[in-house]
Chains A and B, each alone.
Chain A
Amino acid sequence: DSGVTQTPKHLITATGQRVTLRCSPRSGDLSVYWYQQSLDQGLQFLIQYYNGEERAKGNILERFSAQQFPDLHSELNLSSLELGDSALYFCASSADGAGGDEQYFGPGTRLTVT
């Protein structure tokens, strides 16, 4: 158990819908990262937050947005969902925001768009 929690574990929804994925970082970690892992694919970095502020942006679609709240939990919002958005979404956390420390991954949320 990494100490990072993600809810829900599974999510099934229809095309065009909007969903919110939630992540709580390890106690004391200030940085949260979101990744997308499609079937048999690598980890695609989406976005990073550090202490409530956006720190780095990867290949995140305009239909996707995220935020980190004052209690440091983060939410990833996915809207106008398409079949290709079906994937495993991981959240990770680390102690600081510089990027050069270990990221602890949560168990992931499996999103299925039908």
Chain B
Amino acid sequence: GENVEQHPSTLSVQEGDSAVIKCTYSDSASNYFPWYKQELGKRPQLIIDIRSNVGEKKDQRIAVTLNKTAKHFSLHITETQPEDSAVYFCAAILDNYGQNFVFGPGTRLSVLP
């Protein structure tokens, strides 16, 4: 089955700097890669996603890149702000009636003012 690794497990950056979180997956059939943000004590919320037919997607300060050959994808946050502090989860999903719903272990991002 699918296995998703995520690095780093914790990340501290200064406000205004960039943050990068990387995930690798094992099942080449996975074709949908969402990123969820979970603030302390709250529910996970989708922040950006990418499908396997796209190499990069950007939404304001957030971008995701996908390398299908290497089976890894990354989340990039630019101009970080204190409200970006949260746990970020990546996931690898087979968009074919739910055969894979595997989330990475999470990255705890702290943005220091």
A residues near B, CB below 8 A?
Answer: 2, 33, 41-45, 48, 50, 55-56, 58, 90, 97-100, 102-103, 105-108
User: Of A42, A44, A56, A107, which one neighbours B98 at CB under 8 angstroms?
Assistant: A56
Instruction: Report the contact-size class of chain B (Cβ under 8 Å from the partner).
Output: 20 to 34
The answer to whether A98 and B105 touch across the interface, beta carbons within 8 angstroms, is: no
The answer to whether B43 and A97 touch across the interface, beta carbons within 8 angstroms, is: no
Q: Which residues of B contact A41 (CB under 8 A)?
A: 105-106
The answer to whether B97 and A42 touch across the interface, beta carbons within 8 angstroms, is: no
Q: A42-B104, A90-B43, A102-B46 are in contact. List 16 more A-B contacts (CB 8 A).
A: A41-B106, A42-B103, A43-B44, A43-B89, A43-B103, A50-B98, A56-B97, A97-B97, A97-B98, A99-B96, A99-B97, A100-B51, A100-B93, A103-B34, A105-B45, A107-B43
Q: How many contacting A-B pairs (Cβ < 8 A)? A: 66
The answer to whether A56 and B44 touch across the interface, beta carbons within 8 angstroms, is: no
B89 → chain A, closest Cβ, in Å?
A: 6
B81 at the interface (CB under 8 A from A): no
The answer to whether B43 and A100 touch across the interface, beta carbons within 8 angstroms, is: no
B11 at the interface (CB under 8 A from A): no
User: How far is it, in angstroms, between the C-alpha of A105 and the C-alpha of B36 when the chains are bound?
Assistant: 10
The answer to whether A55 and B97 touch across the interface, beta carbons within 8 angstroms, is: yes
The answer to whether A99 and B34 touch across the interface, beta carbons within 8 angstroms, is: no
User: How far is it, in angstroms, between the C-alpha of A41 and the C-alpha of B104 when the chains are bound?
Assistant: 10
Residue of B nearest to A105 (CB): B43
The answer to whether A33 and B101 touch across the interface, beta carbons within 8 angstroms, is: yes
